[in-house]
């Protein structure tokens, strides 16, 4: 049994009346201006010295800004602190990137009105409270909140958000939980695919949900309309709002889908999950819409899976993604596998497997046997959970024993491409696990 702290976020719709709405809107503008003012002043201090601005200097700037315009006092003091912290973080990220010799990209930027949509109350110290279906927030007032589910744990922070003309309250909570120890008898490797949503090392595959294509179409359409309309015009603003709504619809559908999949996954009898470590830098640089939606959904999937697996005492193990598609899961031969090639046909041992299926087995092998000579990097533990690093070796060897026979089974499972491509939609089956 292990005690662990879990953080969770809850998002609820709130219904501020006209007066509170204008209170929120006014504060969002103040927060945005405050951020930009602070950035403006700190750029002066930053000059060309390659040094971060100290917190003391920041605090001095804050005092200056407030004395220049007392309106900023309308912002809750902790909200101001959070803005300060946010900017400080932006600087830190910038300097970290500089050190990595990645040029001077990413200098903190001024934020436009459209981009500043949240107010943070970083501590539950009486600045907000919930009573029945009413949320009271310091300096804003009381408004109706739609509590569609119970909040578990202790509330830590509140974020008031405006999204596509609607208002939300996001609470983060922290809960201490006792986690059962789960024997890792049925680990599984997961390859996130392009054609399919995911393929597992036991041959199970999850198809992509259909809705993504439709919402993508809508998003692309409204993106074009926004681009076409005159900057600063009312029609463009309207199109922007519509675009935001489309994003939101797509996002809600995706959330729903990912929650269902991950729920099924942690209740399916698997005892640990191996996934590829995501390469965030590539993700950020990607401007292609379909790809960026996919990346977002993968990383969200991993987040949800990690959370749910950890809560149930199971691990999610991240492995180095290098060459997982190019290695033969049967004989470790490495060969070229252009993206268009759906079938892995090993030119050494003749093994034939669906491309993603082969990769998922490699991912599992890498998680179980991090020191395998073929892989130049160790499996990294994805989750902060459980005790320190010594557990990794223990786990690896224990799991290795437990699942060696399973991998052998997998190896003898001569799936041809056709079979491995038999896909299920998650609605059709309660998580179909492939009989091996
Ligand atoms: Zn081979």
Asked if 95 and 201 sit in the same domain, the reply is no
pLDDT of residue 371: 63
Asked if 192 and 142 sit in the same domain, the reply is no
Cα–Cα distance measured from residue 398 to residue 395, given in angstroms and rounded to the nearest whole number: 5
Q: Tell me the residues surrounding ligand 1 (ion) with CB < 5 Å.
A: 328, 330-331, 333, 346, 348-349, 351
Inside any domain, residue 229: no
pLDDT of residue 30: 92
The domain in which residue 193 lies consists of 187-209+249-420
pLDDT of residue 324: 93
Torsion region of 313: left, alpha or beta (phi above 0 gives left; psi -120 to 50 gives alpha)? left
| CB burial string 306-344: b at 16+ within 10 A, e below | bbbbbbebbbbbbbbbebbbbbbbbebeeeebeeeeebb
pLDDT of residue 292: 65
Asked if 167 and 263 sit in the same domain, the reply is no
Distance 351 CA to ligand 1 centre (A): 5
pLDDT of residue 49: 56
Inside any domain, residue 391: yes
Distance 187 CA to ligand 1 centre (A): 23
Distance 355 CA to ligand 1 centre (A): 13
Distance 398 CA to ligand 1 centre (A): 26
Asked if 271 and 376 sit in the same domain, the reply is yes
pLDDT of residue 214: 72
List, for the chain, all residue ranges whose pLDDT scores fall below the cut of 50.
Answer: 283-286, 373-436
pLDDT of residue 101: 55
Asked if 198 and 160 sit in the same domain, the reply is no
Asked if 76 and 202 sit in the same domain, the reply is no
pLDDT of residue 375: 42
Asked if 156 and 264 sit in the same domain, the reply is no
Distance 343 CA to ligand 1 centre (A): 13
Asked if 145 and 275 sit in the same domain, the reply is no
The number of distinct structural domains making up the chain is 2
Phi, psi of 340 (to 5 degrees): -75, -20
Helix (H) or strand (E) holding 58: helix 55-68
Distance 353 CA to ligand 1 centre (A): 10
pTM: 0.59
HSE-up of 16 (CA within 13 Å, CB side)? 21
Q: What's the pLDDT tens digit per position in 375-433?
A: 433 333 333 333 333 333 333 343 344 333 333 332 222 222 222 222 222 222 222 22
Asked if 193 and 128 sit in the same domain, the reply is no
Helices (H), 312-354: none
Distance 382 CA to ligand 1 centre (A): 29
Asked if 169 and 275 sit in the same domain, the reply is no
Q: Show which of 160, 179, 198 is a domain's final residue.
A: 179
pLDDT of residue 103: 54
Cα–Cα distance measured from residue 378 to residue 133, given in angstroms and rounded to the nearest whole number: 50
- C-alpha dihedral sign at 340, 344, 346, 350: negative
* Short-list 189, 204, 201, CA closest to 426: 204
Q: Are 24 and 119 in contact (CB under 8 A)?
A: yes
């Amino acid at each position: 049994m292990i005690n662990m702290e879990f953080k969770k976020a809850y998002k609820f719709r709130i219904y501020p009346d006209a007066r509170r709405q204008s209170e929120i809107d006014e504060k969002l503008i103040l927060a945005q201006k405050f951020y930009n003012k602070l950035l403006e002043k700190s750029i002066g201090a930053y000059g060309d010295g390659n040094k971060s601005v100290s917190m003391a200097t920041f605090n001095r700037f804050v005092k200056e800004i407030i004395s220049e315009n007392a309106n900023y006092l309308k912002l809750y003091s902790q909200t101001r602190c959070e803005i300060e912290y946010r900017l400080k973080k932006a600087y830190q990220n910038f300097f970290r990137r500089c050190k990595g010799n990645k040029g001077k990209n990413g200098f903190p930027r001024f934020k436009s009105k459209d981009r500043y949509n949240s107010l943070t109350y970083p501590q539950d110290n009486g600045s907000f409270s919930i009573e029945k279906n009413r949320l009271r927030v310091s300096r804003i007032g009381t408004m109706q909140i739609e509590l569609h589910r119970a909040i578990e744990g202790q509330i830590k922070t509140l974020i008031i958000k405006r999204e596509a003309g609607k208002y939300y309250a996001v609470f983060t909570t922290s809960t201490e939980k006792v986690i059962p120890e789960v024997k890792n008898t049925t680990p599984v490797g997961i390859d996130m695919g392009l054609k399919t949503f995911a393929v597992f090392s036991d041959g199970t595959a999850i198809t992509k949900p259909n809705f993504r294509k439709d919402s993508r179409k809508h998003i692309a359409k409204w993106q074009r309309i926004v681009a076409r309309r005159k900057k600063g015009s009312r029609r463009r603003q309207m199109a922007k709002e519509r675009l935001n709504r489309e994003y939101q619809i797509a996002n809600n559908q995706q959330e729903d889908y990912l929650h269902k999949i991950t729920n099924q996954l942690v209740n399916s009898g698997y005892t640990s999950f191996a996934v590829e470590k995501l390469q965030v830098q590539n993700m950020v640089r990607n401007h292609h819409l379909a790809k960026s939606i996919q990346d977002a959904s993968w990383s969200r999937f991993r987040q949800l899976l990690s959370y749910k697996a950890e809560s149930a005492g199971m691990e999610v193990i991240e492995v180095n993604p290098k060459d997982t598609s190019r290695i033969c899961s049967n004989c470790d031969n490495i060969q070229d596998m252009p993206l268009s090639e759906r079938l892995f046909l090993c030119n050494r041992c003749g093994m034939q497997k669906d491309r993603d299926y082969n990769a998922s087995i490699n991912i599992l092998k890498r998680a179980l046997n991090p020191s395998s000579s073929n892989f130049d990097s160790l499996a990294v533990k994805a989750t902060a959970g459980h005790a320190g690093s010594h557990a990794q070796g223990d786990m690896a060897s224990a799991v290795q024993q437990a699942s060696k026979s399973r991998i052998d089974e997998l190896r003898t499972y001569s799936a041809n491409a056709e079979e491995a491509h038999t896909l299920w939609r998650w609605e059709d089956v309660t998580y179909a696990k492939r009989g091996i």
